[in-house]
Structure 1
Amino acid sequence: MDLSYSAEDEAFRAEVRAFLEEALRGDFAELRGLGGPGRDHEAVEERLAWNRHLAEHGWTCVGWPTEHGGRGLSLSQQVIFHEEYARADAPARLNHLGEELLGPTLIAFGTPEQQQRFLPRIRAVEELWAQGYSEPGAGSDLANVQTRARLEDGPEGPQWVIDGQKVWTSNAHFSQWVFVLARTEPGSQRHHGLSFLLVPLDQEGVEARPIEQLTGGSEFNEVFLTGARTDADLVVGEPGQGWRVAMGLLGFERGVSVLGQVVGFARELRGVVDLARANGAIDDPLVRDRLADLAVELEVMRFNALRGLAAVTGGEDSAAGGGAASIFKLVWAAWHKRLGEVAMEVLGAAGLTARAAPYDLDEWQRLFLFARADSIYGGSDEVQRNILAERVLGLPREPKGV
């Protein structure tokens, strides 16, 4: 792995930095730092306008191939873009699920017609997407999906009719579409008989109910599908082969944007250090040691993320690359939870009460509370450990029904 950047890469970094510096002025300057995990309810319309401004200037879907409307950037340049975006404290993007997950999935598995229908609208941020994977009984155990779909003749041709419930569906309350993993073969079990469907949210038969979180936001939703419909040709891949597509999408979930995530973590750590200096907590040697440990671990995390990306780019999958994606998920989730705990230690007694009634939390309280979920969403710790044990170390599979 070569950690150096070429002169071309550094010129690209200067281009990204200059654009963001110029763009994040005026009304957009007020959006710095808004959004993100636990805060996706913030300034939705304003951030949507920002996302569309990025699109107008060619700064969405930068890693997509040029033939699909992207910039076709190299891995190093994609890393640079996400790092500079995070360093600029630019607002969290609303179209992450479309741009980073569904778009690459359609490029890899979709038909030309599906690509022509959806990719330009994702790139232009004209349509936002939600993810319909988890269910009340199929969260970490995604293969237990019970949502069902059947083909029926409709007035405008054959359609999939979908019944079931999804949960933890991020931003479904303001998205236009959701990609749904549903069981389409009666009597099928586990990974078999599932299909990957593209479903419009604005229709009868779809109800999204926001779930209020400990942090006060409601970015997650329960989504109830009762006779919801989508056209028969809006299945990605072959019917009944949706598990392969769903797993392909999850592979894109831990792409180059994780380097931007690490930059965001570094900013949070600097904020906790500044807080400790301001209130005197830095004078406690135990606090200093914990902050130093976090700083060292974060740098190691960054290098491991780069190593994992280099392995995957070289043609290795997660298992062949030593389970890099699963290892990284376990490491950053544990690190971020510890950061939240140290932040509360630095705050001391002030961290136990809200800033104002009824429930006005500061950024460190939100960090602590939301970070409790880091080891669950995006692949729970238990599932990541099973992946590493079974697919990387070759240990026996976990007994079923125990």
Structure 2
Amino acid sequence: MDQSESPDGQMTDDEFAATVAQWLAENLTGKFAQLKGKGGPGSEHEFFEQRLEWDKHLAAAGWTCLGWPKEFGGRGASISQQVIFHQEYAKAGAPARVSHIGEELLGPTLIAYGTDEQKRRFLPGINTVSELWSQGYSEPGAGSDLANVSTTARLEDGKWIINGQKVWTSLAHVAQWCFVVCRTEVGSKRHQGLSFLLVPLDQPGVTVRPIQQLTGTSEFNEVFFDDAVTDADLVVGEPGEGWKIAMGLLTFERGVSTLGQQIGFARELQGVVDLAKANGSDQDPHIREKIARAWVGLRVMRAHAMRTLDAVDAGTGGGEASVAKLLWANWHRDLGQLAMDVQGASSLVAPWADSEGNASDITDPEHLELDEWQRLFLFTRADTIYGGSNEIQRNIISERVLGLPREAR
């Protein structure tokens, strides 16, 4: 019997929550017990291989791709069940997932826009976590301005030939595939003439170089395409529809997937509150006000996410995805600062040590030993930039939703 169903195939939300909680309690044990709380912002390097194994363990038990239709290997779970799963997952302290980009972003995009052959080829590998994906959007000269990409692809002898560079490509150093937005119509400008290609990374024409972040880790990468190739039929949608496909993907990114993200945020906020209670800073009225604002902000995010999902289901809406990005990015950045404020002066000090634990040269970032709050603070400085900067999101809202004049370029 499917683990989320009763004999008659129906289950209440309370029963579903109990089922999820029980499964997590029984499985986050043994070799997986060490993974609790691992892999968060700025700590993506922690226990990567073990977290990958955990993701495959989830898949084998049917706990991946919850919202996908059953015909594509998912559970066909309702929105409320997906929310419940994310809540219970966070309550259990389960580790950060490594298959998020494929499961939450590309998978729903292929289901909505892909060909039958693309679905047959790629959805099973995402579902079983046997293939990992990365996202090729940003470029050095474009940043969050996706319509300004300059990476090109030309169709030649049944292959797309790709040239250009992507940057801030999350997890490209461990992924097998990348979905790449590139310009396929010579002379096209802005959002015209773009295509959404599925590109294998393990080939001579692709070079992946990790970028060391402030945290000392390297989740992000720059990816170079030098006559890299992919098959002609690995374009999602029609050639020239890349903008539409990319915007559709961003709707998925800022819909259900943000609910799980928000549960993680709630856990981080609770950690900051616990720290404030432990060191007495919760008696500072300024700290108390910031904690209250953070608590309210979380609930605003949740309400907006649910409204966004309703709009997606109804086929309506316009700027919800951009509003969501503004909400969570600014909230999380402020949480990083709040963590530093709660810690006080001690937040400015970080120990340095070599592999034997001896004092090390402070110019060597590989030996920087940050605590979880310092790592959170440093990582969240980028929240308002990656995934669509604040400036770009505000332009989208003003120009495409409110109908205001376009920004002078």
The answer (yes or no) to whether the contact 2:332–2:380 under 8 Å persists in 1 is yes
Partners in 2 of 1:7 and 1:55 — Cα distance? Answer: 21
State the distance in 1 between where 2:215 and 2:301 align: 26
- In structure 1, the gaps of 5 or more residues are 1-5
1:2-401 matches, within 5 Å, as 8-153=12-157, 158-317=158-317, 319=318, 323-357=319-353, 358-400=367-409
After superposition, give the CA deviation of every residue in 1:150-179 in whole Å (9 maximum; x if it has no partner): 1222xxxx2111111000000001100011
Contact 1:79 1:257 in 2 (8 A): no
Amino acid corresponding to residue 93 of structure 2 in structure 1: D
Higher mean C-alpha displacement, 326-335 vs 216-225 = 326-335
Secondary structure at the residue paired with 2:225?
strand
- RMSD value, Cα: 1.5
> How big is each residue's C-alpha offset from its partner over 1:103-141, in whole Å with a ceiling of 9 and x where there is no partner?
111111111111101100110000000111111011121
Name whichever of 289-298 and 331-340 sits farther off: 289-298
Aligned position for 2:356: none
Asked if the contact 2:179/2:196 (under 8 Å) is kept, the reply is: yes
Aligned residue type for 1:339: L
SS in 1 for 2:346: helix
The alpha-carbon deviation at position 296 of structure 1 amounts to 2.6
Q: 1:42 to 1:247 in 2, by over 3 A?
A: same
Question: What's the offset of the Cα at 1:7?
Answer: 6.8
Distance of 1:107 and 1:299 partners within structure 2: 30
8 Å contact from structure 1 (residues 82, 257) kept in 2: no
- Higher mean alpha-carbon deviation, 265-274 vs 204-213, is at 265-274
Contact 1:151 1:232 in 2 (8 A): yes
Report the CA distance shift for 1:209/1:67 in structure 2 as closer, same or farther (over 3 A): same
Residues 286-305 of structure 1, C-alpha deviations (whole Å, 9 max, x = no match): 22222222223323332332
- Pairs aligned (count): 387
CA contact (8 A) 2:170 2:219 kept: yes
The answer on whether the counterparts of 1:355 and 1:362 sit within 8 Å (CA) in structure 2 is: no
Residue 62 of structure 1 deviates from its aligned partner by 0.7
Aligned equivalents of 1:126 and 1:28: distance in 2? 19
Alpha-carbon distance in 1 for matches of 2:50, 2:11: 36
Q: Deviation per CA, 1:321-380, whole angstroms, max 9, x where unpaired?
A: xx3322222122222122111111111111111133331100100111111111111221
2:254, 2:305 within 8 Å by CA — same for their partners in 1? no
Which aligned runs of 4 or more in structure 1 are off by greater than 4 angstroms?
A: none
CA distance in 1, matches of 2:201, 2:376: 31
* Letter in structure 1 aligned against 2:323: I
Aligned partners of 1:339, 1:267: CA distance in 2, in Å? Answer: 12
Deviation at 1:381, TM superposition (A): 0.8
Q: Distance in 2 between matches of 1:285 and 1:248?
A: 43
Q: Given that residues 44 and 217 in structure 2 are in contact (C-alpha distance below 8 angstroms), is that contact kept between their aligned partners in structure 1? A: yes
Match of 1:3?
none
TM-score calculated relative to the size of structure 2: 0.91
d(CA) in 1 for partners of 2:376 and 2:392?
Answer: 24
Percent identity over the alignment is 66
Does the Cα contact within 8 Å between 1:86 and 1:261 map onto a contact in 2?
no
SS in 1 for 2:12: helix
User: Equivalents in 2 of 1:312, 1:184: separation in Å?
Assistant: 29
Listed one character per residue, the Cα deviations across residues 38-96 of structure 1 (whole Å, up to 9, x for unaligned) are 22211111011000000100011110011111111111111111221122221111111
C-alpha spacing 1:108/1:304, structure 2 compared with 1 (3 Å): closer
Q: In structure 2, how many angstroms separate the alpha carbons of the residues matched to 1:391 and 1:202?
A: 38
Residue 175 of structure 1 aligns to a residue in which SS?
Answer: coil
- Please say if residues 250 and 321 of structure 2, whose CA atoms lie closer than 8 Å, have aligned partners that are also in contact: no
Change (3 A) 1:308 1:247: closer
Three-state SS of the structure 2 residue aligned to 1:180 is strand
| C-alpha separation in 2, matches of 1:113 and 1:289 | 54
